[in-house]
A and B are shown apart, each in its own frame.
Chain A
Amino acid sequence: AQTVTQSQPEMSVQEAETVTLSCTYDTSESDYYLFWYKQPPSRQMILVIRQEAYKQQNATENRFSVNFQKAAKSFSLKISDSQLGDAAMYFCAYRHSGAGSYQLTFGKGTKLSVIP
């Protein structure tokens, strides 16, 4: 079974600075998807960024980027120019590719605080 580990239960960053959230995963599959979801206090789950395992290029979405190291099974999220609105729980998630592979496996989350 796949597992997703987020080793940092809490992190903080100064406004306008850069922070990196860590995620490692365990799988025997070669083709899969990785996601970062943001959950603000409103509780809504919001997709931040997605990475296909077959793509070597790291995904980027505005201030959010990932460092995907397939051999090391590592998938970290970098937030640049941190803003107060970035304060939230962040969840890393894994999903095997292929028909019928539907389940998202989540890590336990990292609570990010942004200091003004």
Chain B
Amino acid sequence: NAGVTQTPKFQVLKTGQSMTLQCAQDMNHEYMSWYRQDPGMGLRLIHYSVGAGITDQGEVPNGYNVSRSTTEDFPLRLLSAAPSQTSVYFCASSYSDLGYEQYFGPGTRLTVT
């Protein structure tokens, strides 16, 4: 199993550009989520999904959009990038919501200039 994969690993955007961060998992996990990590902060939840076709907002959802058309994929879209979205983004998945371990991807470092 590849686990949780994320592409790209690094990305530089100009303010106002849009892009999609890709996330895929091959563990047949129902639950997937996106976090962002800023310097001196822990990870904060952006959006999450409890299954294909079902998504919900986390703590910091503004400026991001998600969809979940398959169990495997959970892309994160930046609609109009802003410097405040410069961060490291992690995708995670888990088997269920009952305290099971969340498996994290390797992260995407995004810089918005």
Contact A45 B104 (CB under 8 A): yes
8 Å CB contacts to B: which residues of A1-41?
4, 9, 33
8 Å CB contacts to A: which residues of B63-113?
88, 90, 92, 97-99, 101-102, 104, 106-107
* Chain A contact residues, CB within 8 Å of chain B: 4, 9, 33, 42-45, 47, 50, 52, 91, 93, 95, 97-109
* Chain B contact residues, CB within 8 Å of chain A: 31, 33, 35, 40-45, 48, 50, 58-59, 88, 90, 92, 97-99, 101-102, 104, 106-107
Q: Can you offer 18 A-B residue contacts whose CB atoms are under 8 A? A: A4-B42, A33-B99, A42-B106, A43-B107, A44-B107, A45-B92, A50-B101, A91-B43, A98-B97, A99-B98, A100-B50, A101-B97, A102-B31, A102-B97, A104-B102, A106-B43, A107-B42, A108-B40
